[in-house]
Amino acid sequence: MSYREIYQRSMADPQGFWAEAANALHWDRPWQQVLDQSNPPFYRWFAGGHLNTCYNAVDRHVESGRGEQAAIIYDSPVTASQETISYRQLQQRVAQFAGALRKLGVTTGDRVIIYMPMVPEALVAMLGCARIGAIHSVVFGGFSARELATRIDDAQPKLIVAGSCGIEPNRIVHYKPLLDAAIEQAEHTPEHCIILQRPQEPGTLIAGRDVEWHAIVDSAEPAACVPVESSHPLYILYTSGTTGQPKGVVRDTGGHAVAMQWSMANVYGVQPGEVFWAASDVGWVVGHSYICYGPLLQGCTTVLYEGKPVGTPDPGAFWRVIAEHGVDVMFTAPTAFRAIKREDPEATHLARYDLSRFRTLFLAGERCDPPTLQWAQEKLQVPVIDHWWQTETGWAIAANCMGIEALPVKPGSPSCAVPGYDVQVLGDDNQPLPAGAIGRIMIRLPLPPSGLLTLWGNDQRYVSAYLSAAPGYYLTGDAGYKDEDGYLWIMSRIDDIINVSGHRLSTGAMEEVLAAHPDVAECAVIGVADDLKGEVPLGLVVLKAGAVRDAAAIERELVVLVRERIGPVACFRHAVVVKRLPKTRSGKILRGVMRKIADHQPYAMPATIDDPAILDEISTALGTVQAVS
Ligand code: COA
Ligand code: AMP
């Protein structure tokens, strides 16, 4: 069937469509209703059905004869090590880890925070939680202790699983001291921490609270899979909102498993037994969906790569991994390809590797600039597919579904809506706009399987942040348009979110940090265009009238403060002191205009600006920043 036919079917009969997809999984109890619509806007997929995600991702494959197939290939250039773990070995390791959780009192519904680098134990911990119905919340290693503390207080975990350290090419990330500091700062205290000691920097254990991974896991009684309700939360994943308080996206068990397996076959065109590699991090949604759950649910081999696209050791690193492990399909962020292209524009390293098995490259996480897409197409000679999604959906909203029908690629567009998603571009009057007109991109409710259930502990924020803009629609937060062929063009965010190296960050959260400095009267953080990272944040601050200290010293303090409070991943490297910020007469800071000035783009003088002369001052100040960067 063609893409159009399948898409139409998913719109005309969503329940029949998704019930068919759900039959590909093992259910311990069949669902009573495909979609429970009794309590809108809180829709529930496969109501009454019971299943276990770990069983479907691991045990099921061992039982059906995939026991000796590689489930995980761990490739770590930063530690010069590799390991292949079969489905049978994974089953044993996960069952024992789940047994250790049990021994420490963790049970169905308890939360477990996972603060781990890219090691197989991170996946074992996620699957171990899923095995007994504990709800995991993975926190990315590039965040600060304070960000971790915020998540501890929101999720209230019974237990935290952490690595002793992470390894970046230029330094060791001190996970254990960061964890201790976060627990110290948080109001909530976990009962226990399981610590994976890494030889590069073992941590100091706190007696009574911390237990070493092997000391508890190796002797644990293996735990069986516990079937849970389809709507039981599998995980909480915190993502940037418009304030310093991140949003805890709650993912269900049944809908998620169905969407993961369906997308592996239909979006990525990957069959059981094939090798899939998502070069991302388990701390992001891409890592949850396509390093861990998607490939394993589909019976594929997943590659877990602890390294970078460049520098570990050279810009041929991705080609080596693809060739060495026989990768069929790969997924990463455009930034990674920009980094490779910058260091090796002619892709000379490619000649050293045999990529004959490699079939498709998928890119997402940020806007994919056409030159990067075209460079990858030309050098790799395979289809390069941009697709668009977000933490909240857990899988692609728009994509060229390679398992259904390869549509013509239009560089700069992530193609058309994926089956299941009724994507509309709405104008200010909440009516759909004609082709070519830019508006807010919305999805008509209910979202297809895997769409967020709510925000953890905050139904009200879920409704106000996502469902209040237009009745019956989910607000994606992106603006753009649909063309005459139904292709979507994602132009920008409509909120304070920026995308740095494919990492989603809140400028609002950074502004909160700057505003807390004793010398700062007011501030604005904007995302400015960056050739490598897509966007980078830049802070503009106005000092308090009485501030007499050296502006350059304050600027340096602000950079340190954001790194400490949010983390290195924010890439906040520049703050600049200005006399005033441009505002409308009603007092709204004109961030968009400042952004255009920083990006050297033409801008129209806003009719509502209170004092147009400020823009010249801003222009001079931003010129100084760029001159020194
Ligand atoms: N744990 C701790 N710190 C981390 C980290 C992690 N997992 N990942 C990144 N950081 C740190 C980096 O060490 C760096 O710190 P520094 O300021 O001390 O140098 C900072 O966060 C910024 O990192 P990054 O934005 O990754 O920049 P970079 O210059 O180190 O690397 C790229 C640039 C392009 C190589 C890198 O961003 C990359 O590989 N991107 C791929 C994108 C990706 O995987 N996106 C995920 C969504 S699909
Ligand atoms: P995250 O929740 O971290 O996955 O970030 C989601 C946001 O990243 C989206 O709302 C978009 O703003 C942006 N994004 C992701 N993929 C794409 C893409 N292919 N094209 C344009 N923007 C994208």
Q: What CATH number did the domain enclosing 76 receive?
A: 3.40.50.12780
Which residue is closest in CA terms to ligand 1's atom 23? Answer: 569
What is the whole-number distance in angstroms between the Cα of residue 498 and the centre of ligand 1?
A: 15
Tally of residues, the chain: 629
pLDDT at 623: 80
The band of 629, judged by pLDDT with boundaries at 50, 70 and 90, is very low
Ligand in nearest proximity to the CA of 334: 1
Q: pLDDT tens for residues 357-412?
A: 999 999 999 999 999 999 999 999 999 999 999 999 999 999 999 999 999 999 99
Q: What is the mean pLDDT of residues 283-299?
A: 98
What is the whole-number distance in angstroms between the Cα of residue 148 and the centre of ligand 1?
A: 18
Please report whether residue 350 resides in a domain: no
Assess whether the C-beta atom of 280 lies below 6 angstroms from ligand 1.
yes
pLDDT at 611: 85
Instruction: State yes or no: pLDDT of 626 exceeds 70.
Output: no
Angstrom distances, CA of residue 250 to CA of 13, 229, 392, 519: 26, 14, 8, 38
Instruction: State yes or no: pLDDT of 79 exceeds 50.
Output: yes
Q: What is the mean pLDDT of residues 20-44?
A: 98
Please report whether residue 118 resides in a domain: yes
Q: Quick one: CA dihedral 52, 56, 59, 60, positive or negative? A: positive
Q: pLDDT tens for residues 321-365?
A: 999 999 999 999 999 999 999 999 999 999 999 999 999 999 999
Instruction: State yes or no: pLDDT of 613 exceeds 80.
Output: yes
Q: Which of 388, 392, 474, 505 to mutate to test the pocket of ligand 2 (most atoms within 8 A of CB)?
A: 388
pLDDT at 584: 86
pLDDT at 84: 98
Instruction: State yes or no: pLDDT of 548 exceeds 90.
Output: no
Structural domain boundaries, residue 63: 3-307+387-444
Comparing CA positions, the residue from 493, 490, 464, 465 lying closest to residue 477 is 493
263 and 394 belong to one structural domain: yes
Assess whether the C-beta atom of 96 lies below 6 angstroms from ligand 1.
no
Q: pLDDT tens for residues 215-252?
A: 999 999 999 999 999 999 999 999 988 777 889 999 99
The backbone torsions φ and ψ at residue 85, rounded to the nearest 5 degrees and listed phi first, read -120, 120
Instruction: State yes or no: pLDDT of 546 exceeds 90.
Output: no
429 and 293 belong to one structural domain: yes
162 and 231 belong to one structural domain: yes
Please report whether residue 488 resides in a domain: no
Structural domain ending residue among the three candidates 424, 444, 464: 444
Residue 560: CATH number of its domain = 3.30.300.30
Q: What is the mean pLDDT of residues 438-451?
A: 98
The backbone torsions φ and ψ at residue 381, rounded to the nearest 5 degrees and listed phi first, read 60, 40
Ligand in nearest proximity to the CA of 282: 1
Please report whether residue 580 resides in a domain: yes
Please report whether residue 551 resides in a domain: yes
Assess whether the C-beta atom of 333 lies below 6 angstroms from ligand 1.
yes
518 and 432 belong to one structural domain: no
Cis check for the bond before 41: say yes or no (omega within 30 of 0). Answer: yes
Q: Specify the ligand 1 atom closest to the Cα of 286.
A: 48
Ligand in nearest proximity to the CA of 173: 1
438 and 533 belong to one structural domain: no
Instruction: State yes or no: pLDDT of 425 exceeds 90.
Output: yes
Which residue is closest in CA terms to ligand 2's atom 6? Answer: 390
Ligand in nearest proximity to the CA of 533: 1
Assess whether the C-beta atom of 367 lies below 6 angstroms from ligand 2.
yes
The helices-and-strands tally (H runs, E runs) of the chain is 20, 29
CA angle 383, 72, 97 (to 5 degrees): 145
